[in-house]
Amino acid sequence: MANNEELFKKIISHAKEYGFVFPSSEIYDGLSAVYDYGPFGVELKNNIKEYWWESMVRYHENIVGLDSAIFMHPDIWKASGHVDAFSDPMIDNKDSKKRYRADVLVEEHLQKIEDKIQKEVEKARQRFGESFDEQMYRTTNQRVVENQAKIDSIKTRFYASLGKNDLADVKALIEETGIVCPVSGTKNWTEVRQFNLMFSTQMGSVNEDANMIYLRPETAQGIFVNFLNVQKSARMKIPFGIAQIGKAFRNEIVARQFLFRMREFEQMEMQFFVKPGEELQWFEFWKKERMKWHTSLGIPASKYRFHDHEKLAHYANAATDIEFEFPIGFKELEGIHSRTDFDLGAHQKLSGKKLQYFDQETSENYTPYVVETSIGLDRTFLAVLSHSYREEKLEDGSERVVLNFPARLAPVKVAILPLMKKDNLPEKARELMDSLKFSFQCYYEEKDTIGRRYRRMDAIGTPFCITIDHQTLQDNTVTIRDRDTMLQERIPIEGISEIVQKKIFPAA
Ligand code: GAP
């Protein structure tokens, strides 16, 4: 198997060739970090959205949905803190002319030291076998202790400098730790500057009276400002949640990782409103609940991990990321944040409108606290796609690329393939297509040999291929081929719907 970088490239090119993801504006040489979803990509994306929406909104009676506008009053972004503080520290290398996020450079440097420690630990584990005491080793082995001390001191200084917005010290730290530009290999850095990530545009027809507005950098604020509208109209009682799926826009400084870091992307967010003082217990609840959702997709639990935030945003009293092992390493897929009453409080203050909840049982008014779950749809797409990508050598020496998507997420569930383009086989196949297409996403294809058609369906991750042959005309049976085992079984046409249904919803 290719190394991870090569593997990542292969996945990107597979996604393009097989109609999942295209670079945006390709005929004009593309638009950086913006992508279009092709025919199979949009199906996969919709299936992920549906799975999230069903599990959040349909299965939780105390969560309701919302679809708020992308454009919002510009004061919303003042209140939320985005105008003043939604920025990343950036730095340029003067030789390569490449731009980096200063925090990412430092974090990657720390990861390299962490990897060294881990290597030492693993070597020792093999040497000492069962009697190995990792805790003891980490606190007594000189090299490990020194490296750990390096990590701790860099982290302490780095977060302190960032916290004080002392960007000169961030630059000094980068220089002193010997971080070099991965492209030029030099330490010829510019000053570090803060760069606001929000895109802005003008609203209004005449330039003079046009107002500057922002493209939302998160969907969450649309939920906060509608808190009372939703609570009253849907008659919700605390604790309750509001869920939303929608586009968000960020002018990312470094956006070179395909769907992982895009400038236009989609979020699936849920704000859960709770009584002050109960937020940490709901935070723990949502941590568990969201991890369950991820593993219920059929991807092994070992591909996920929590990463608790050491440095909390000023408005949060707990925060964690669910990280996924992408081909580019373990990276954030979802954030779970206990945001206190920061957002509702800030909107109340700036708008002058009350955003409070009246608790009928205790007859008190209060500003609810909020626990948020925020997952990137495109990152989930990338997680599912990269986990499902397989290059297989078959027994007959040939090779195939298969996407073994969890069946319920597969863009096409059933391929309907007449063995030949004659002898009434296409007509019979069309009949089957017409009977199944209202229940499942089906794909009809009669061109090319059956073997090539199977390969194409493997490459887009279709769990079932149904072949209509001459025997079908005699006894109304077909062969059904399983994508993963490649085994074929002959079954009566009437049984197809049930078999497919069972595979897609195994527990039902
Ligand atoms: N409302 C909270 C919020 O927006 P965030 O951690 O900034 O929190 C939430 O974003 C999720 O959105 C991330 O975990 C990630 O999956 C996704 N996301 C953020 N920036 C992204 C980008 N530039 N491209 C793709 N997905 C992104």
**What does the pLDDT read at residue 503?**
81
pTM above 0.75, yes or no: yes
Rounded distance between C-alpha atoms, residue 220 and residue 373, angstroms:
10
| Any atom of ligand 1 within 6 Å of the Cβ of 220 | yes
Distance (angstroms) between ligand 1 centre and the Cα of 267 equals: 7
| Any atom of ligand 1 within 6 Å of the Cβ of 378 | yes
Distance (angstroms) between ligand 1 centre and the Cα of 427 equals: 48
Distance (angstroms) between ligand 1 centre and the Cα of 240 equals: 23
Q: What is the pLDDT of residues 260-290, one digit of tens each?
A: 999 999 999 999 999 999 999 999 999 999 9
> Which domains are present in the chain?
1-71+212-404 (3.30.930.10), 87-196 (3.30.40.230), 412-504 (3.40.50.800)
**Buried b / exposed e along 74-105 (16+ C-beta atoms within 10 A):** eebbebbebbeebbbbbbbbeeeeeebbbbeb
Which atom of ligand 1 is closest in space to residue 259's alpha carbon?
A: 25
Q: Which residue's alpha carbon is at the smallest distance from atom 7 of ligand 1? A: 218
**Buried b / exposed e along 26-57 (16+ C-beta atoms within 10 A):** eeeeeeebebebbebbebbbebbbebbbebbb
**What does the pLDDT read at residue 1?**
42
| Any atom of ligand 1 within 6 Å of the Cβ of 332 | yes
Which atom of ligand 1 is closest in space to residue 250's alpha carbon?
A: 23
Distance (angstroms) between ligand 1 centre and the Cα of 229 equals: 26
| Any atom of ligand 1 within 6 Å of the Cβ of 374 | yes
Which atom of ligand 1 is closest in space to residue 332's alpha carbon?
A: 14
Q: Which residue's alpha carbon is at the smallest distance from atom 15 of ligand 1? A: 376
Distance (angstroms) between ligand 1 centre and the Cα of 378 equals: 10
| Any atom of ligand 1 within 6 Å of the Cβ of 335 | yes
% residues pLDDT > 90 (the chain): 89
**What does the pLDDT read at residue 313?**
83
- Pocket probe for ligand 1: among 267, 322, 375, 380, the residue whose CB has the most ligand atoms within 8 Å is 267
What's phi and psi for 403, nearest 5 deg?
Answer: -105, 105
> Is the peptide bond between 239 and the residue preceding it cis, with omega within 30 degrees of 0?
yes
Rounded distance between C-alpha atoms, residue 461 and residue 19, angstroms:
12
**What does the pLDDT read at residue 276?**
97
**Count of helices and strands (H, E) across the chain:** 17, 23
CA distances, 60 to each of 282, 313, 413, 491 (Å): 14, 28, 27, 39
pLDDT in tens, the chain (508 residues): 446 889 999 999 999 999 999 999 999 999 999 999 999 999 999 999 999 999 999 999 999 999 999 999 999 999 999 999 899 999 999 999 999 999 999 999 999 999 999 999 999 999 999 889 999 999 999 999 999 999 999 999 998 998 888 999 999 999 999 999 999 999 999 999 999 999 999 998 766 666 899 999 999 999 999 999 999 999 999 999 999 999 999 999 877 799 999 999 999 999 999 999 999 999 999 999 999 999 998 899 999 999 999 878 888 999 999 999 999 999 999 999 999 999 999 999 999 999 999 999 899 999 999 999 999 999 999 999 999 999 999 988 999 999 999 999 999 999 999 999 999 999 999 999 999 999 999 999 999 999 999 999 999 999 999 999 999 999 999 999 999 999 999 999 998 999 889 888 876 5
Give one DSSP letter per residue of 379-392, joined into a string. Answer: HHHHHHHHHHEEEE
Distance (angstroms) between ligand 1 centre and the Cα of 256 equals: 15
Q: Which residue's alpha carbon is at the smallest distance from atom 27 of ligand 1? A: 376
Distance (angstroms) between ligand 1 centre and the Cα of 232 equals: 29
Residue 233, helix vs strand vs coil: helix
CA distances, 58 to each of 51, 64, 65, 241, 290 (Å): 10, 8, 9, 12, 15
Question: Among candidates 186, 212, 183, which has minimal Cα distance to 199?
Answer: 212
Distance (angstroms) between ligand 1 centre and the Cα of 216 equals: 12
Distance (angstroms) between ligand 1 centre and the Cα of 268 equals: 9
**What does the pLDDT read at residue 392?**
96
| Any atom of ligand 1 within 6 Å of the Cβ of 347 | no
**What does the pLDDT read at residue 209?**
62
Q: Where are the beta strands (DSSP E) in 275-352?
A: 304-308, 318-326, 329-338
Cβ atoms of 353 and 33 within 8 Å: the answer is: no
| Any atom of ligand 1 within 6 Å of the Cβ of 262 | yes
Q: Which residue's alpha carbon is at the smallest distance from atom 14 of ligand 1? A: 334
**What does the pLDDT read at residue 315?**
87
**What does the pLDDT read at residue 211?**
84
